[in-house]
Amino acid sequence: MGASLVFFFILQLSWLIGAANSDCHETCGNVAIPLPFGIKTGCYNNSWFRVTCNQTVNGPKPFISRINLELLGKFQPVENAVSVNNPVSYLNCGDKGNNGTTASSSVDLADSPFFFSTEYNVFGSVGCGNIVYLNNQAADAITVCLQRRCGDLTSKLGGCQANISDNLVSYTTNITDIEFSNPGSKRCTSAFIFDSSRLKSSDVDPQFPYNISINTTHVPATLMWYSVICNLGAAICQKLKPAENPPPPVQSPTIPLNYKYGCIERCGNIGIPFPFGIEVGCYMSNWFRVTCKETSDGSRPFISSINLQLLDVSFSEGIVLVNYSVVYTNCLRETNVVGVNLTGTPFLFSDVFNRFVSVGCDSLAAFLRSPTDDYPINWCAQPHCDNMTSEAMCSRDIPPNLSSFAANVTQIYPSNENNRLCGSAFIVDQRYPDSLERIITNRNDTSKQSRSYFPTTLLWGTHKRGLCELREGSNISCRSDGAYCWASLSETHLCVCHLDSYGDSDDVCQGYEYIDDICKSTKDPKRSQILPIIVGCGASIGTIFVLLGAWHSHKLLKRRNNTKLKQKYFKRNGGLLLQQQLSNNEGKVEKIKVFTSKELEKATDYYNENRILGQGGQGTVYKGMLTDGNIVAIKKSKLVEEKVLDDKKLKQFINEVIILSQINHRNVVKLLGCCLETKIPLLVYEFIPNGTLYDLLHRPNEEFPLTWEIRLRIAIATANALSYLHSAASVPIYHRDIKSSNI
């Protein structure tokens, strides 16, 4: 839990500022307690905001005392908002929750100033094959969540979510098994209200957080509160209702497609721009052919291929507005299922502009891809007819790439048929709210439900991101009024240059300006734009090559200096003399090896401290592994004052190296070779893995007890080694430093 807290105070509420003690800087665990909440008397505004610091298995945690919810350490950046840990309700999960179809939330905010924020919270459920209802205090369904089909491999998470109603203070959940997926089965299901902005979604299901599962017991939720000036129930206290935030603006897509020069035609008062047309040669293909039909309201254009009335066309956005049919129930013009299949056509329902809408009460509107589909896209639960506090309608987003649609309206609440309203379901463009007013206003009069169609937006192409340019010499066409020009990029996409409210033509039409009916090439500005780019790219590439050349020269110079330094040390340490001795005594001292400094650096991992076997007054011994896999001990003598050895001492040192390399006794560590390329020569010995006598004497080992018999064997072996060095070696050698750490 984060300890970063953000809280904005309302300056108008002077009593809120004065109520808190200026010395209140309280914490519980790693959570800071901000105003108006507090632990000590005088640090909270009133008892609704009193916090208790409880000891839990995870350490101290702050709880809002009167509603018994854990207070989280992160606040929303708005007034009167706080995050809490909201418990999850379970159904048919064994000893967790209830076994049946109804579960009650353990959170009851009634008579308190707190309520679940509609702006930040949503209703969620984990499971499969069920419809989960969220009911208010009056047991009316206020939203519905459709779980995924069991066994659907594209839905590994099994989560669904839906919006909640305003001012929700307590709730219950009901589940209904979808009859065509294992009827009668009781699958474990969880339900909860949570703040989706605090949890990250996954690639598997971008609409549902990946860290919520059937085993999740608590989820973060955001509570808001009315400002109260007493400690009684919120219903009799003064309230200040938080302001509603305006909805985010709808963003319009830009969709270039394969246009060609069109004719300006009209049917009634509707203009028919390209790619649509009435006469042969004025439309792009038969999909876009328009028929002008005579109706009771005058001449109206219809798209012949899909038989839908055309209302408007936006060439630059690639969309067309049509009249789409409505399904009615409990009305004079009742229809159970209706739908239009656009599969195989260039048209799709726009998920940016359109929404599923259902008007009425006591019914559940199922949105399907086709009338024969056995599983809905989404559900929309209408409010209860006997207790409607708002408009009798519900709505849902539509999925992208939707090419077919059907609706089915089914009664879900038993009620007096005389009280039931005329219900309907349809897809409507949300930019035209006026089209809903008449059907909502006349919902109580079934005889007035005569509206058969609503404005719906269709896409007629696919989106391609990025800027394009109308290049000189390409096949450019322009509309006669100069509103836009286009050129073909491929068989399926066009570059479109247009004047509209979304941007200036200079940003879209690079290298072209509008003059009446045509796009005229402006070569000079284009050349002036390209020249700086060429100069800049050339300078950048040249700089990169200069830097690469300098870096390469530096590496070569450094390598050359290192080679010269190694040659200098090799000569000073008697390397040439050793090579001469080896060549003169060929066959006698062939076993000694002259190592390079690079070999020993690699063997010791560049003399890593983890490779040190021991340290003493003479130097440090490292453990190393040669390229052939042999383990060796490398002795690095301590650095003494640098001086050049005279020829006599140099010859003596080399002779000693040769003599030591010829020693061959089982109780004497063998010298394998040396390295003369370093400042101080390095000696390479065979590696003895069993430690020293000092270790056995002072660090007893149960696996290798030092019995008197073993002690006697060690003493005899030591004596044999000394006898060999003193008498049997070709040149007598006197150790002069016999001690337990050297044995």
> Would you tell me how many other CB atoms lie within 10 Å of the CB of residue 421?
24
HEC-encoded secondary structure of 688-717? CCCCCHHHHHHCCCCCCCCCHHHHHHHHHH
What residues are paired with 340 via a beta bridge? 405
The rounded distance, in Å, linking the Cα atoms of 543 and 537 is 10
Which residues, in sequence order, are CB contacts of 408 under 8 Å at separation 6+? 327, 336, 337, 365, 366, 368, 371, 425
What residues are paired with 636 via a beta bridge? 620, 682
Furthest-apart CA atoms within the chain: distance in Å: 131
DSSP state letter for 363: E
The rounded distance, in Å, linking the Cα atoms of 654 and 660 is 10
Residue located via tokens 């509570």: 223
The rounded distance, in Å, linking the Cα atoms of 241 and 224 is 10
The rounded distance, in Å, linking the Cα atoms of 69 and 84 is 6
Catalytic choice (166, 445, 517, 737): 737
Alpha helices in 573-666 (DSSP H): 575-584, 597-603, 647-662
> Would you tell me how many other CB atoms lie within 10 Å of the CB of residue 170?
16
The rounded distance, in Å, linking the Cα atoms of 556 and 81 is 65
> Would you tell me how many other CB atoms lie within 10 Å of the CB of residue 63?
19
The rounded distance, in Å, linking the Cα atoms of 429 and 92 is 40
DSSP 657-691: HHHHHH---TTSPPEEEEE-SSSS-EEEEE--TT-
DSSP reduced 3-state for 160: strand
Clarify whether 737 is annotated catalytic. Answer: yes
Q: What are phi and psi of 7, to 5 degrees?
A: -145, 130
The rounded distance, in Å, linking the Cα atoms of 169 and 225 is 11
* Beta strands per DSSP E along 327-390: 327-329, 337-341, 348-349, 354-359, 363-368, 378-381
- Closest listed residue to residue 126, CA positions, set 180, 83, 187: 187
Catalytic residues: 737
